[in-house]
Amino acid sequence: MISSQQKTGASDQPNGFLLFLRGSGECAHHLTSLDWERTELGSIANWPSALKQATATMLTSKVPTLLCWGSSFIQLYNTQFEFILDGRFLQMPVLGIPAEQTFRSDWHAFSPLFTKALQGEASEWNQYKVKKGKHDALADRYFDISFIPIRDELGKVQGVSVTFADRTPVVQELKTLRSYRRNVDLMIHQAPVGICIVIGTPLRTIEVNDVFVEITGKQREDFFRLPYWDVNAEIRDVYEPISLRVIQTGQSYQAKEHRVTLIRNGIPETVYVDFVYEPLRDTEGQIIGLMIVAVDVTEKSTSKQVLEQTNEEMAAINEEMTSANEELITTNEDLEFTQHKLHISLERLTESEHQMREMVERAPFPIGVYIGKEMRITHANQAIKDVWGKGDEVIGKTYAEVLPELADQDIYPQLDHVYSTGIPFHTRNQLVVLHIEGRPRDFYFNYSFTPLRNHEGQIYGVMNTAADVTDLYQAKQKVEQSERNFYNMIQQAPVAMCLLLGPEHTVALVNDAMIDIWGKARTEVLHRPLFEALPDARKQGLEEVMAQVYNTGIPYQAIEQPVSLIRHGVPDVVYQSFVYQPYYNADGSILGVLAISVNVTEQVTARLELERVYEQSRLAKEAASLGTFDFNVLTGTLEWDRRCRELFGVPHDGPVTLEKDFKEALHPDDVDRVFWAISRAMDEERSGGIYSTVYRTITGANRQERWIKAQGKAYFDKDAKPLRLIGSVLDITDQKLHEIRIEENAEKHGRLAAIIDSTDDIIIGQTLEGYITSWNRAAERHLGYSTEEAVGKHISLIYPSSRFEEATYLASLVSEGQEVVNFETVRLDKEGNEKQLSITVSPVLDGKGQVIGSSKIARDISGQKAAEKATRRYTSRLEVLNKMIQTVAEELDLDRILQKVIAATCELTGAAFGSFFYAKKDIDGKVDLVYATSSVGTVSFTPSDIAASQAFFSGVFTDLQVNRVANTDEDPRYQSHKYLFGMPSVDFHVSSYLAVPVVSRSGEVIGGLFFGHPDPERFSSDHESLVISIAAHAAVGLDNAQLYEKVKSLNDKKDEFIGLASHELKTPLTSINGYLQILERSNQNEQHHLFLKRATLQVKKLTMLVDDLLDVSKIEAGKLKLTLVDFDLLNTIKEAIDLVALNSNKHHITFKTTAESCVVKADSHRIEQVMLNLLTNAIKYAPGKTAIEVSLLISDSDVLVGVKDFGIGIPIDKQDTIFSRFYRIEENTQNISGLGMGLFLSHEIITRHQGKIWVDSVLGHGSTFWFSLPLNSE
């Protein structure tokens, strides 16, 4: 207890205040008003100096501080701590009572921290939550609490300084961020579109929703296990460069109904996708990845193809998504670790400088003490030195010397004002730019400048306390930015979105896409309950669903939900695919509902229309007896419906194949053409995938023939490889000869008008009286009159005067209801120029079927007519030229070549006359000038006088130059030397001519082409080029003709020599053979007998060669005669075999036949000659082989004989030439004798019998020679 005398002393202090409490404000009044004698601390006046110093420091601190003294931790607090009390976050009394009573509910956790501080070790409790009362309107608060020991002069711990740093804003901002993150995650995962977020290099997936996984057909775990482009390798080549370009340029990329082939669940599938590549940015605006938004629009695209563009394109969900997702991710990570905890520690402050410095140094928040007017730094704890980026060298320097960068930041005046007036200065979230390591950095501080007084109350310095709130301030800015981004994301989302708050679902935020779905003005719906703004949406189940989401937090999703709305004042039904998901507060409570919707009205309408069309198609197919087919190119499977099976004669329902069921049912004459049509359809570049053909089928036991019309389309992958061929077949047997044209008149007036305006054909409407009622743009372009100038005028406006009767004629036909088709005529344009037109005139009927006017469709055919004329002229010239070139190439008669060339060339050039001169050389080199002429009409031109003059030919042609004269009257060369320079004498004046030399292969001029005309300038450069080309071809023909004549002459001499030589050799050979026979009969020794036998054999061979030569000579001379008699071919073959076997006992010849006799009418001697030639060759060209097979086969019309050996064989490229005269195969036959006449003679003999001879041979395996003879031939 404190004595009464001490209590009186306390009351003697001026104004009831103790000196160390001076300047402490209202908090000091609270301290002095408490009866401290009832506590362990006793009277304030008798408090230890350490307690007084600690109390004075606490009271001047701007940090909420609780001073707990003694072993019972008796509590004192400063003004900032009163804010916590006034907020009623601590329900128990505080001042003068033990800390255990204040923190009773959490003392089990606080007690160890107080004990630890008493042991001299500071500690802290982060984010201590002070819960609001049950009926309290205030929110929960969060504090970082620091426990710092307080020491006396001897260093002994006497108490604990407990500082409170309010972390409520940080915690709330973190909760808000988590809420936004949760809402965004829900939006991504419940969105009706595919979303995938990828970052890094290479790109890796950090978020992907189920819709995106379903579109790609991949496994979800693969997206997080592998780089993005490894997962989607099949589309990497096309899309990875696009993604890189988006990352490099920052420009979004979007595509609509993009055709892509994906490997979905292991199977290639072609799908159509709307997609967007949106760049993702970090807080500094740097691009770190992509957000990919995709919508599968395959059904829509397929519907559009089937309906042949009857529906509008479904609105692509390809608008830009904002970068809120990545910012939220970044800020979520950044704010997980907030600013370094502000540890406020209050050290024991004694009157000594040493204890003050220790307290300041140990404080966890920046503290500096500046003395004097110049603000010289005497104390600076480590926290403030860390903030400044300085070391211990700051002690003793002035504030301005340490921090010169603050000169223009108003801090120096603030310090001076505090020092001069004694008025403390406090500020929050103040921007301060400090130079850290030589570089300026932005910081945000809550700081105070507090005047320091001595014991006399005089100001001797300023204490600076601060809290670095840079992280908190920036986090708050990021949260605010995240909120703005969230709102912007909704506004800019490619799908309809709105945020509905509260149980009444008030429209807090809505984007343009949702406004468009609702069909209301933004002012009609914003900040109003949803179903009050959209009363037409009530009673459709939406109210109950939205209330359920709001109350339970369970999202709701609907696909293609029809909703009846009054849109823009008109009742309408909108089909929507939408998601209602809860929108959470920072504390996890539901604030409202986030609605995401996609207007799929067009898609649903298209599908319904497609289903209708499919049903109509099915009914039409049944009504028209159509059959359908589906051919899978990849698997080779073919599917037919019942009608198709019926048309191809397939009675079962089992699988069908292309080869058996389809190909075998086709008419044999149509197989190649049908498969060509299928092959062409499989070539997308050639056919566009269109398959259309007509063919016949032959089916059933009665071989019924049907005519089938098949139509279909092939479908391809991205590489233009065919996947499927789908189509239909129709039995058109009854309609094959009667084509039915079907007219469709269901086009709407607007579309017809568009066609009329866009067509290049002139379309004019007129009354029966001939007054113009309509005039399209093509009419304006072609005829020059505007619509205003033409409508209302009579049609004679564009008629030539010579065609007025034509107008009356056409009008009479139209009035009778007749249609005039492709009527070619002439009309006048505004400038009076004639236009060649092809017109079709149709009657126009009123509702009663009466003719009230006519419609004319005219096409300008001026260019077509000119082209037709040019084509006819070109075709005619080409035909003449081709015919002439073919004649020159084939003709070997010199005179006919000259005549045909000059006649054709005159026709092509239009010359009045022409001549072809040729300097013909005989074998002895003598030149004879020959010619052929051609002229037109009555023109008389004979170059006999020219031929007599060698000067003409040498003057015109021998210099290899082409002479083309446009007008001889204007060329001085021809005034006095006409003949010398090519002016022939004709019965008219020659004004223009063309002379072209004909040059042989050796470069020698062998002739010339000369053309003339009485008119000047009749020969152009085209004529010159044409005649030069003809001259080149003519030169080849002349060379060939000359060569042919030489060869023919030499061949005749050769045949004459062979014939004479053969006759001359025949006589001595006969004599030699006779003498050898005589010698053979004489008695000779065995050796002489062998020599004679061999000599006789060689003479026989030589005789056979001579006989062959004589036969060849007879064949060439046409004198080989056949003696046709009936004989048994079987016996002739056997005799030939016996004869050959007699001379070659080493070979075994077998004869195979089933015939007992074979009587033919032929020359038996010549047929035996053929057999001997074939058998001899079989022995000769099969060295080392002994087997020879002869066969005879008889058919109804002929007999077939074959001779087979097992020798060296004949190359396939030589088999067509071995029957030529004197032809021998050089390979592998150098040691085999022969002149190459046997097969030639055999071929000639068999051919003259109207038979055939040929060979079947495999190189290295032998040959079989066959010949056939007709039976019963006359």
Q: What is the CATH number of the domain that holds 1262?
A: 3.30.565.10
Q: What is the pLDDT of residue 906?
A: 82
Residues 313 and 221 in one domain: yes
Distance CA 655, CA 640 (A): 9
Task: Classify each residue of 211-245 as buried b or exposed e, where b means 16 or more C-beta atoms within 10 Å of its C-beta.
Answer: bbbebbbbeeeebeebbbbebbeeeeeebbeebee
H or E element, residue 154? none
Distance CA 878, CA 652 (A): 58
Distance CA 989, CA 169 (A): 117
Query: CA 20, 25, 26, 31: dihedral to nearest 10 degrees?
Result: -10
Of 947, 1020, 951, 1015, the C-alpha closest to 981 is 951
Give 1093: exposed, middle or buried? Use CB within 10 Å, 0-12, 13-18, 19+: exposed
Q: What is the pLDDT of residue 1266?
A: 95
Write down the mean pLDDT value for the chain: 79
Of the residues 550, 572, 605, the one at which a domain ends: 605
Whether 507 and 527 have beta carbons less than 8 Å apart is answered as yes
DSSP state of 537: G
Whether 545 and 592 have beta carbons less than 8 Å apart is answered as no
Question: Strand 556-567 to strand 570-584: parallel, antiparallel, or no bridges (unpaired)?
Answer: antiparallel
Distance CA 539, CA 534 (A): 11
998: phi then psi, degrees, rounded to nearest 5: -105, 120
Question: Strand 157-166 to strand 267-281: parallel, antiparallel, or no bridges (unpaired)?
Answer: unpaired
Q: What is the pLDDT of residue 563?
A: 93
Query: 633 by DSSP, 3-state: which?
Result: coil
CA distances from 149 to 115, 121, 159, 525, 1204 (A): 10, 7, 6, 61, 125
Q: What is the pLDDT of residue 40?
A: 85
Residues 471 and 591 in one domain: no
Q: What is the pLDDT of residues 847-859, one digit of tens each?
A: 778 888 888 888 8
Of 282, 399, 298, 275, the C-alpha closest to 332 is 282
Residue entry with tokens 């109003």: 528
Q: What is the pLDDT of residue 204?
A: 93
Whether 1242 and 1235 have beta carbons less than 8 Å apart is answered as no
Q: What is the pLDDT of residues 241-298, one digit of tens each?
A: 999 999 999 898 988 888 899 998 888 888 888 888 988 887 678 898 998 988 888 8
Give 905: exposed, middle or buried? Use CB within 10 Å, 0-12, 13-18, 19+: buried
**pLDDT range class, residue 549, cuts 50, 70, 90:** very high
Q: What is the pLDDT of residue 695?
A: 92
Asked whether residue 1007 is domain-assigned, the answer is yes
Q: What is the pLDDT of residues 632-658, one digit of tens each?
A: 888 888 998 888 898 888 888 889 988
Residues 116 and 181 in one domain: no
Q: What is the pLDDT of residues 155-210, one digit of tens each?
A: 889 999 998 888 887 777 777 767 667 766 777 777 778 889 999 989 999 989 88
Of 793, 853, 802, the C-alpha closest to 827 is 802
Single pTM value for the model: 0.34
Residue type, 609: E
Residues 519 and 439 in one domain: no
Residue entry with tokens 């058998």: 1175
Tally of domains within the chain:
8
DSSP state of 1147: -
Asked whether residue 1064 is domain-assigned, the answer is no
How far is it between the farthest Cα atoms of the chain? 192
Distance CA 1012, CA 393 (A): 118
- Reply yes or no on whether the pLDDT at 499 is more than 90: yes
Q: What is the pLDDT of residue 1061?
A: 55
- Reply yes or no on whether the pLDDT at 995 is more than 90: no
Residues 560 and 667 in one domain: no
Give the Cβ contact number of residue 176 at 10 Å: 20
**pLDDT range class, residue 744, cuts 50, 70, 90:** very low
Query: CA 272, 274, 277, 280: dihedral to nearest 10 degrees?
Result: -130
Question: Strand 851-860 to strand 834-845: parallel, antiparallel, or no bridges (unpaired)?
Answer: antiparallel
- Reply yes or no on whether the pLDDT at 1227 is more than 90: no
CA distances from 892 to 37, 882, 1042 (A): 151, 17, 8
Q: Which domain covers residue 458, as residue numbers?
A: 366-476
Of 462, 460, 425, 416, the C-alpha closest to 446 is 425
847: its two tokens:
């509702």
Residues 154 and 177 in one domain: no
Residues 908 and 1029 in one domain: yes
Of the residues 860, 877, 907, the one at which a domain ends: 860
Could you tell me which residues are beta bridge partners of residue 299? none
- Reply yes or no on whether the pLDDT at 943 is more than 80: no
Of 181, 175, 174, the C-alpha closest to 485 is 181
Whether 631 and 727 have beta carbons less than 8 Å apart is answered as no
Of the residues 860, 880, 897, the one at which a domain ends: 860
Q: What is the pLDDT of residue 1108?
A: 65
The DSSP code sequence of 1246-1270 is: HHHTT-EEEEEE-TTS-EEEEEEEE
Of 427, 407, 418, the C-alpha closest to 469 is 427
Residue type, 459: I
Higher pLDDT, 726 or 467: 726
Distance CA 124, CA 344 (A): 10
Residues 590 and 710 in one domain: no
Residues 447 and 462 in one domain: yes
Residues 224 and 303 in one domain: yes
- Reply yes or no on whether the pLDDT at 377 is more than 70: yes
Q: What is the pLDDT of residue 193?
A: 80
**Percent of the chain beyond pLDDT 90?**
21
Distance CA 826, CA 802 (A): 10
Asked whether residue 749 is domain-assigned, the answer is no
1183: its two tokens:
């060295």
The enclosing domain of 961 has a CATH number of 3.30.450.40
Q: What is the pLDDT of residue 621?
A: 61
Distance CA 1206, CA 1189 (A): 9
- Reply yes or no on whether the pLDDT at 328 is more than 50: no
Q: What is the pLDDT of residue 974?
A: 58
> Hey, which bits of 392-528 come out as E strands?
425-436, 439-453, 459-468, 496-501, 506-510
- Reply yes or no on whether the pLDDT at 585 is more than 60: yes
Q: What is the pLDDT of residues 786-832, one digit of tens each?
A: 989 989 988 888 888 888 888 888 888 888 888 888 888 888 888 88
Asked whether residue 260 is domain-assigned, the answer is yes
24: its two tokens:
């402490």
The enclosing domain of 36 has a CATH number of 3.30.450.20
Asked whether residue 1099 is domain-assigned, the answer is no
Of 648, 651, 647, 595, the C-alpha closest to 625 is 647
Asked whether residue 359 is domain-assigned, the answer is no
Asked whether residue 313 is domain-assigned, the answer is yes
Q: What is the pLDDT of residue 1265?
A: 94
**pLDDT range class, residue 11, cuts 50, 70, 90:** very low
Q: How remote is the C-alpha of 1087 from its chain's centroid?
A: 94
Whether 1186 and 1149 have beta carbons less than 8 Å apart is answered as no
Q: What is the pLDDT of residue 245?
A: 92
Asked whether residue 742 is domain-assigned, the answer is no
Angle of the 1129-1143 helix axis to the 1164-1180 helix axis, nearest 10: 40
Higher pLDDT, 1047 or 414: 414
Q: What is the pLDDT of residues 1171-1197, one digit of tens each?
A: 988 998 888 888 878 899 999 999 888
Average pLDDT over residues 1192-1209: 92
Q: What is the pLDDT of residue 106?
A: 84
Q: What is the pLDDT of residues 951-989, one digit of tens each?
A: 455 556 656 678 788 887 776 655 544 444 444 555 556
Higher pLDDT, 1217 or 620: 1217
**Percent of the chain beyond pLDDT 70?**
75
Q: What is the pLDDT of residue 948?
A: 42
Q: What is the pLDDT of residue 418?
A: 92
Respond yes or no on whether the N-terminal peptide bond of residue 202 is cis (omega within 30° of 0): yes
The DSSP code sequence of 7-43 is: HHHHHTSGGG--GGGTT-THHHHHHHHS-GGGSTT--
- Reply yes or no on whether the pLDDT at 324 is more than 60: no
Whether 585 and 483 have beta carbons less than 8 Å apart is answered as no
Residues 876 and 987 in one domain: yes
Distance CA 326, CA 337 (A): 18
**pLDDT range class, residue 659, cuts 50, 70, 90:** confident
Q: What is the pLDDT of residue 314?
A: 30
Task: Classify each residue of 629-647 as buried b or exposed e, where b means 16 or more C-beta atoms within 10 Å of its C-beta.
Answer: bebeeeeeebebeebbbeb
Per mean pLDDT, which range of 145-154, 1102-1111, 1199-1208 is the poorest? 1102-1111
Residues 220 and 126 in one domain: no
Question: Strand 496-501 to strand 590-599: parallel, antiparallel, or no bridges (unpaired)?
Answer: antiparallel
